Chains A and B, each alone.
Chain A
Amino acid sequence: MVGNLEKKMLFSKEALNNKEKLLEIEEVELDFQRKISETLEKFESDPSKIILALQALQNVLGYLPKEAIIKAAEKMGVPISHAYGVATFYHQFRLKPIGRHTVYFCFGTACHLKGAESIYNAFLKAANINNDENTSKDGRFTIHKVRCFGACSMAPIVKIDNDIYGKVTPSEIRKIISKYK
């Protein structure tokens, strides 16, 4: 059981050093380092809280760069392979940098039946996002498919940052997008 082993034994310091050399500079700004340490300071070393630590880091950094996952694993006393497995399992965690605006498409049952798929496709085309990416080329938008906001009577729903749009149609997409820089 992971919980029984001392934290310092659970990751390779040598491999860590190699990783630190490999990290791209654009990903690890000094600012990130500071934010990561500050966030992790608030946690006690407890393997069961790795998910909370990752959530806190993502709240602060916007996403989870490699460095954040490694430092979180270190602090909480779990192997890096475990932390990576957790970070890639849950929907909430984003491992790539995000766009300036986050777009949530509701794909709940009601929204699906009211055409969520077509407004999603329209958005992809209008914002120039490839099918297998989730951030637009100009860095404006990061898109997410979400399961149900619980506002089913206003289906289909799109949320951009804190603005919620109800009863959206594909033709409105261009207009909506143009509001965001």
Chain B
Amino acid sequence: MSIIAYLRSENEKLPKELFYEYEYRIMVGISTCSLTKRAEEIKKIIEKDLIDKKMDAKLAIVGCNGMCYSEVLVEVARINGPNILYTNINPENAHLILDHFINYISNNQSLFQSKIQIKELKDEPFYALQERRILEYVGRIDPYSLNEYLMIGGYEGLKKALSMSPEGVINEVLSSGLRGRGGAGFPTGKKWKFAYESKSDQKYAICNADEGDPGAFMNRLTAEGSPFMIIEGLTIMGYAIGANKGYIFVRAEKPLMAERLETAITLAKKKGFLGENIMNSNFSFDIEVILSAGAFVCGEETAMIAAIEGKRAMPRPRPPYPASKGLWNKPTCINNVETLAHVSLILKNGSNWFSQVGSEKSKGTKVFCLTGSIAKSGAVEVPLGTTIRKLIFDIGGGSSNGSIIKAVQIGGPSGGCIPSKYFDYELDYESLQSLGAIMGSGGLVVLTESNCMVDVAKYFLTFTSAESCGKCTPCRIGLTKMLNKLIEITNGKGRIEDIDYLINISRVIIDSSLCALGQTAPNPILTTIKYFKEEYLEHIIEKKCRAKVCTSLLKYEIDQEKCKKCMVCVKNCPNKAIEIEEGEIIFINQDKCIKCGTCRIVCPFNAIKVS
């Protein structure tokens, strides 16, 4: 893919301080996603280039701004403009950036010969249709720098909070209408109030950075891009509820996120934004980062509490709720990363500002992750109430491979599949619930005709049954029974009664599981049965998978008419299942075929047919 350069508009100019009195500021996006595309190498190339060109420039590492489909991203800014965001950078083309920028500002002729397209960022719907509040500076500031965070107005929120009473802070959050962004959508102010009202000598404030949903990375992105925002939010929460100790619970699979948060905490402490007498007030607060040892169920509050206590992450019955009896049996309040990011901004800009956007019962913005068969995959921030259609087609660019989009899966393994006929529904808590889905953490997976809905259900159930902690009967046993049934169906051994079997067990698992993992795990199955029953019936009755995904139902054969005997498939078959008979005819040994599809991919003559 070739480089696209996006010109930022005037109102996106960076504050002067960020230039540290240099003329230029170069920002290289380094985060977990861009590191897979050799972002470190790119940074080194640009560093060298700056020296060679003797440019008066500040080189900064920044986070990812969410345009993951076009990583690696490098932004070049000059102190009075322009700001150009270069996308699709790799180590081979990185050397073109600075030349291009210099040519641009000097309006050089050779600009027109450049292979680099210039567009205006406001014409790129992926970016322009967003309402970037949390993400405003993500991808433009250095996550390791407290100073840069202060330069963009960081810690204003905490300053204001400390000048108010704890009740005042809680009321501000209450009136903003902020609802927990972790999935449940519980009013944040209400949760804080319960914790505040519980009397105790010791309270705890916890940030849930576990982000276990496969396909969700908005928390990681935010924390890697602007960790101080989250720490500020957690500190504000601590102040409001009366806690002096905070924890950030990060999953071990996201080490960069943990590292950036830890560095931020150390810096904040040094400068008096954490520790004793924060910002010269009476409030003292300390934060510790805890690395989870790997369990999706840790996203559940009481399971996370058990993990912090050094035990198996097995949830406890509620009531009593963590707000009255949580960590070490003390009042504890747990909020998601994104929720806390919003808190910082609410205290800074006011609750009215927050609730200006959003729908009636779901105020504010939310970061969604677009993945799956979507043209532009990444993280975007939009007001709640945005329709699914707008998100997928206008912002995400529609299908990635031309196939028709038939559904979108939202809420991860706890969520449901929404068929295309409902794409005009709004993305807010109530609306999604009415469809049988949940918002969850906000991960959207786009599914097209080339995806099998039964397989998707099986995938999520494989995940949740493996993540079940095993404490309560319905989740421990029920999910596995359901999975076995789904495996039978995708292997062609399903029976018509199986659909009712699945629905009946689902009902019980939802009704009687101990925690939200079990209570929501059947959702993907129930929604796919509800909206895509035909696919189930095809698998059961016709033993057919229309998307050609369920491999047991597929047969790979060589079309002898098209086969030119080039032997490419024979060489590439991982299981050596393609054999030669009488020196002439090439065929696939069905017993050895593992249906990986490699032969079909490598055949230059399209001679492999799948049925």
Q: In the complex where A50-B310, A110-B372 touch, is A146 in contact with B253 (Cβ < 8 A)?
A: yes
State the Cβ distance, B598 to closest chain A Cβ, in Å: 4
Q: Please tell me if B339 contacts chain A, counting CB pairs below 8 Å.
A: no
B48-56, B178-186, B212-220, B531-539: which one contacts chain A? B212-220
A7-15, A34-42, A119-127, A131-139: which one contacts chain B? A119-127
Q: Once the chains are docked, how many angstroms separate the CA of A1 from the CA of B469?
A: 20
> Which residues of A are found within 8 Å of B294, using beta-carbon distances?
90-93
Q: Are B371 and A151 in contact (CB under 8 A)?
A: no
Name the residue of chain B whose CB is nearest to the CB of A145. B466
B31-39, B198-206, B315-323, B511-519: which one contacts chain A? B31-39
Q: Are B377 and A110 in contact (CB under 8 A)?
A: yes
State the main secondary structure of chain A at its contact with B. helix
> Which residues of A are found within 8 Å of B35, using beta-carbon distances?
164
Q: In the complex where A171-B574, A173-B574, A174-B574 touch, is A109 in contact with B214 (Cβ < 8 A)?
A: yes
Q: Once the chains are docked, how many angstroms separate the CA of A47 from the CA of B220?
A: 29
Which of B214, B253, B369, B597 has the most chain A CB within a 10 Å cutoff? B214
Q: Are A149 and B32 in contact (CB under 8 A)?
A: yes
Q: Are A148 and B311 in contact (CB under 8 A)?
A: no
State the Cβ distance, A140 to closest chain B Cβ, in Å: 17
From A78, A89, A109, A157, give the contact of B215 (CB < 8 A).
A109
Q: Once the chains are docked, how many angstroms separate the CA of A113 from the CA of B447?
A: 9
B interface footprint on A96-122 (CB within 8 Å = 1, 0 otherwise): 000000000001111011010011011
Q: Please tell me if B373 contacts chain A, counting CB pairs below 8 Å.
A: yes
> Which residues of B are found within 8 Å of A170, using beta-carbon distances?
574, 596-598, 601
Q: Please tell me if A66 contacts chain B, counting CB pairs below 8 Å.
A: no
Q: Are A110 and B602 in contact (CB under 8 A)?
A: no
Q: Are A110 and B596 in contact (CB under 8 A)?
A: no
> Which residues of A are found within 8 Å of B378, using beta-carbon distances?
153
> Which residues of A are found within 8 Å of B212, using beta-carbon distances?
147
Q: Are B598 and A149 in contact (CB under 8 A)?
A: no
> Which residues of B are found within 8 Å of A121, using beta-carbon distances?
574, 594, 596
Q: Please tell me if B312 contacts chain A, counting CB pairs below 8 Å.
A: yes
Q: Are A115 and B36 in contact (CB under 8 A)?
A: no
> Which residues of B are found within 8 Å of A82, using beta-carbon distances?
311
Interface residues of B in 58-90 (CB under 8 A from A): 68-69, 71
Q: Once the chains are docked, how many angstroms separate the CA of A169 from the CA of B409?
A: 25
From A54, A115, A152, A157, give the contact of B293 (CB < 8 A).
A54
Q: In the complex where A90-B295, A151-B36 touch, is A48 in contact with B312 (Cβ < 8 A)?
A: no
From B221, B290, B295, B601, give the contact of A169 (CB < 8 A).
B601
Q: Once the chains are docked, how many angstroms separate the CA of A3 from the CA of B328?
A: 10
Q: In the complex where A109-B445, A171-B601 touch, is A93 in contact with B293 (Cβ < 8 A)?
A: yes
> Which residues of A are found within 8 Å of B596, using beta-carbon distances?
118-119, 121-122, 170
Q: Are A115 and B597 in contact (CB under 8 A)?
A: yes
Q: Please tell me if A16 contacts chain B, counting CB pairs below 8 Å.
A: no
Q: Once the chains are docked, how many angstroms separate the CA of A49 from the CA of B371?
A: 37
Interface residues of B in 348-376 (CB under 8 A from A): 369, 371-373
State the Cβ distance, B571 to closest chain A Cβ, in Å: 9
Q: Please tell me if A45 contacts chain B, counting CB pairs below 8 Å.
A: no
Q: Are B307 and A51 in contact (CB under 8 A)?
A: yes
Q: Please tell me if B313 contacts chain A, counting CB pairs below 8 Å.
A: yes
From A50, A92, A153, A169, give the contact of B68 (CB < 8 A).
A153
Interface residues of B in 223-266 (CB under 8 A from A): 252-254
Q: Please tell me if B344 contacts chain A, counting CB pairs below 8 Å.
A: no
**B residues touching A (Cβ–Cβ < 8 Å)?**
32-33, 35-37, 68-69, 71, 212-217, 220-221, 252-254, 290-296, 307-313, 369, 371-373, 377-378, 409, 412, 443, 445, 447, 451, 456, 459, 463, 469, 551, 572, 574-575, 594-598, 601-602
**A residues touching B (Cβ–Cβ < 8 Å)?**
2-3, 47-52, 54-55, 76, 78, 82, 85-86, 89-93, 107-110, 112-113, 115, 118-119, 121-122, 125-126, 146-154, 157, 164, 166, 169-171, 173-174
**New A-B contacts (18) at CB < 8 Å, excluding given A109-B215, A122-B574, A157-B36:** A2-B311, A51-B307, A55-B252, A85-B312, A86-B310, A92-B294, A109-B445, A112-B459, A121-B574, A125-B594, A147-B463, A148-B214, A150-B254, A151-B33, A151-B68, A153-B69, A153-B371, A154-B37
Q: Mind listing 20 A-B residue pairs with CB under 8 Å?
A: A54-B293, A55-B293, A82-B311, A86-B312, A90-B293, A108-B214, A109-B215, A110-B372, A118-B551, A118-B595, A121-B594, A122-B598, A147-B214, A147-B463, A149-B33, A151-B36, A151-B68, A153-B69, A157-B36, A164-B36
